[in-house]
Structure 1
């Protein structure tokens, strides 16, 4: 992974701070000021000045010294994990996840709200805000060190207004200004991002290794993908990239029409087909709402693993539809790996990964000249919530050349 290069202009102190923070974050064992200057292209004086500010702000810390030959030992700098914190929220149609991350991206708190999909947006936001305030007030963080909150939501979104437009599985959330409403309730800056994009950001932050070109396939109440090319998350013209639900799958329904991929593989549709086929999907009586759907879907996947014929047919149809939809994605975008995650992915993961590898190897439609890897996410099931918090950290820590641009006022 290439290092970011800074600029020695007095007007870009914020950008240079982000360049240095990014370099320190990536050096888990610490990095000296001399190495920072070499890695970032900044002058030694700029590195010294910025480091002094970051140390005073509690964002970085000195972590011992290292001797690298003749001369004075070099002091190592490290990110200070408890220097700043971020909240992440995933607004799923049935289950809301809330997480707290420190500056190093470590998960410090994780809470789940089982919500009624028929609840009003205002009521759900009140519940999210109440739980968020409880996390902040639990004593693990200083409020003044909170960077803000990120919220990951199903699309489509309107970036400039922070609004959820008309998410198909959230009938009471049409044109709701989620960003501002949550910000008012928690009294923090809030970022809004599409959930599949947030999942891709989380994977970039948490996973080790070469993840420069990949599609993150998010399997939740709906399905979509987040895309990373050349280490950059691709959001699209309006921030709504990644919707693959409209792809046509390779078989028809009872009326003879092709079914949309999103409709075919949605857990609600899959469970409904199983129940209509007479498959018994017992769930714990005390679980309701989104948990109920996840329990039923998990029971169906387990039945398929036991070799029950009807369950196997339904789960294998889901996997076949997934393979048929991802082959053109691989051809179009030339990614070298697919990463899978989300709450409904875990129950089918082992079966699906093996079948996807086989289906891609046998597909006459695949035109790529390189191998494609299929991997499970390095992040937990709440990858979108973690990604939402990572967005806040990324906004604070990652350098963006756009910050150097000065708007022309005519």
Structure 2
């Protein structure tokens, strides 16, 4: 046998071993109450000896731990295996034009620490990156986690992005952030592996990680809107990892004019600046607002929502039009892709959620053409305002649990 053939065979065997280890680790993750070695062999199709060897390696690495002993009808009780929460950690950062959010997750996806800071009104890329790095270091110090157990930092940011190069291409609501190499800048500063993905992709990943698989739409409400998609239990990214750009979906014949040249675009009708501008125009707000000052716009959006909740008719009309457009967009997306669930979330969900009432959802159910075949369900995110950062950290942990065959066949 030639040395090159032997090398390739050894590499292939190594990838198979890594793949089998990941299969076992993922099976343990999906069994929160614990799983025995016998059950792992049955679930994965691996031999009992292979399972024993892999479990020994995972125990030695600290990724799993032995737990309770479960009695069986005959024979010795079986020792159950669980993930070791402190086996690994991941950091997540969500850069939204309104707020930057940070979390540290343990191996089972629990949040150990979080922080959030308003995004500066005119965020300079270099200065903001330094602030992000400083906050990451502060969280590591605060939690006291071992740096050697941190597998990486996930960065979630508005698109479009170049995932392969780790570059923010031209986010529409972050002026001056064209072609910013955010991934490498953070990686070089913190000396940890860093990945960069779209905010809506990260948010969908967070919901999936927390047990919400299947086929669903994550509707992201931040400074912009976006659609995170999970199809057949997998996060859908598209060819360039920029799926979910839905701002220019037309959802109204008489909506606001959009910079794209059309009227009634989904993103324009739900953008905080345009909502506040609309509120000022119809008398739903009393005080003047500098529409070029993001912090003033954020405060005015909260005031607009409060005015609507206290019964001010003009404010109710603004919010009603926004909800109608968003639900029309959700209806079109779910019908196009045959989805059965919608999850709302993002930095502005807490402010806007009171207007997404069961009555409004009932209108969606009545219009939905597939409701009689597969009822569609609607809910807010179970994760809260940290969903983007949690998702970014989840993407890092996904590398630990990934069983993507493409990884096995590469090279």
Q: What is the TM-score of this pair, normalised by structure 2? A: 0.90
Find the counterpart in structure 1 of residue 268 from structure 2. Answer: 263
Distance 1:282 1:380, change over 3 A: farther
Structure 2 unmatched ranges of 5 or more: 1-11
* 1:368-406: CA deviation from partner (whole Å, max 9, x where unpaired): 642111111111112111100000011112322112104
Report the count of equivalent residues: 392
> Whole-Å Cα distance in 2 between the matches of residues 93 and 81 of structure 1?
32
CA contact (8 A) 2:284 2:312 kept: no
Deviation at 1:138, TM superposition (A): 2.3
Find the counterpart in structure 2 of residue 3 from structure 1. Answer: none
> Whole-Å Cα distance in 2 between the matches of residues 333 and 202 of structure 1?
20
Q: Which of 223, 232, 235 matches 2:225? A: 223
Q: Which of 371, 381, 384 matches 2:385? A: 381
CA contact (8 A) 2:218 2:227 kept: yes
* 1:31-88: CA deviation from partner (whole Å, max 9, x where unpaired): 1111111111111111111111111111111113122122222111110001110000
Find the counterpart in structure 2 of residue 136 from structure 1. Answer: 140
> Whole-Å Cα distance in 1 between the matches of residues 321 and 234 of structure 2?
33
Matched, 1:123 2:112: no
Find the counterpart in structure 2 of residue 344 from structure 1. Answer: 348
CA contact (8 A) 1:90 1:195 kept: yes
- SS of 1:247 mapped into structure 2: coil
Find the counterpart in structure 2 of residue 163 from structure 1. Answer: 167
Residues 253-292 of structure 1 aligned to structure 2 (within 5 Å): 258-280=263-285, 292=296
> Whole-Å Cα distance in 1 between the matches of residues 143 and 387 of structure 2?
25
> Whole-Å Cα distance in 1 between the matches of residues 121 and 94 of structure 2?
14
Deviation at 1:263, TM superposition (A): 1.2
Find the counterpart in structure 1 of residue 337 from structure 2. Answer: 333
State the Cα RMSD in Å.
Answer: 2.1
CA contact (8 A) 2:256 2:263 kept: no
CA contact (8 A) 2:256 2:269 kept: no
- SS of 2:155 mapped into structure 1: strand
Find the counterpart in structure 2 of residue 82 from structure 1. Answer: 86
Q: Which of 398, 404, 410 matches 2:408? A: 404
> Whole-Å Cα distance in 2 between the matches of residues 320 and 292 of structure 1?
25
CA contact (8 A) 1:360 1:366 kept: no
CA contact (8 A) 1:199 1:226 kept: yes
Q: Which of 309, 314, 333 matches 1:305? A: 309
> Whole-Å Cα distance in 1 between the matches of residues 158 and 50 of structure 2?
42
Q: What is the TM-score of this pair, normalised by structure 1? A: 0.90
